Structure 1
Amino acid sequence: MEVNWIKIYNTHEWYKAELIAHLLEQESIEVVRINKKDSSYMSFGVIELFVHQQEFTKAIEIIVLNEDKLD
């Protein structure tokens, strides 16, 4: 992965990662998903989301404004 990517979010729950990624992509923010879940035991590991360094502040604002939709 390039140097200019910053981890913006991580979660154990796949659907939360996808919801956040979708919200960011709707705002034209490119998102990289890295699934570190164990394929044998899905309860172990996390899913991480990364965005470009230039989009970090905008991405955080979007996540904070939409926190209520994640639960």
Structure 2
Amino acid sequence: MEEGWKEVFLTVQEYKANMAKDILENAGIKTVIMNQHDSAYKSFGDIVVYVPDADENKAKELLKELKH
């Protein structure tokens, strides 16, 4: 990922990544999702949610419940 962005959520389930993105965007935080699933084998690879550096702590706090 480019400089200036921090990973705040990691999952293998696409719906959880989309839930995280919705939570963050509703709080006014820009979000980027990187899907690193293997195109041939959907069960391999991660989906990572990134936010700008300045929003890292707020984003992690907002997503605390989603990680459980």
Quick one: percent identity of the two aligned structures? Answer: 34
Moved over 2 A (4+): none
Superposed CA RMSD in Å reads 1.5
In the other structure, the counterpart of 1:18 is 18
Take 1:24 and 1:62, find their aligned partners in 2: how far apart are those partners?
7
With structure 1 as the length reference, what TM-score do the two structures score?
0.87
Query: What are the ranges of 5 or more consecutive residues in structure 2 without an aligned counterpart?
Result: none
Q: Which structure shows the higher helix fraction?
A: 1
Q: Partners in 2 of 1:37 and 1:48 — Cα distance? A: 10
**Partner of 2:39: helix, strand, or coil?**
coil
Q: Does residue 9 of the first structure (1) align with residue 17 of the second (2)?
A: no
Which structure 1 residue ranges, 5 or more long, are not aligned? none
Equivalent-residue separation in structure 2 for 1:48 and 1:60 (angstroms):
13
TM-score (norm 2): 0.91
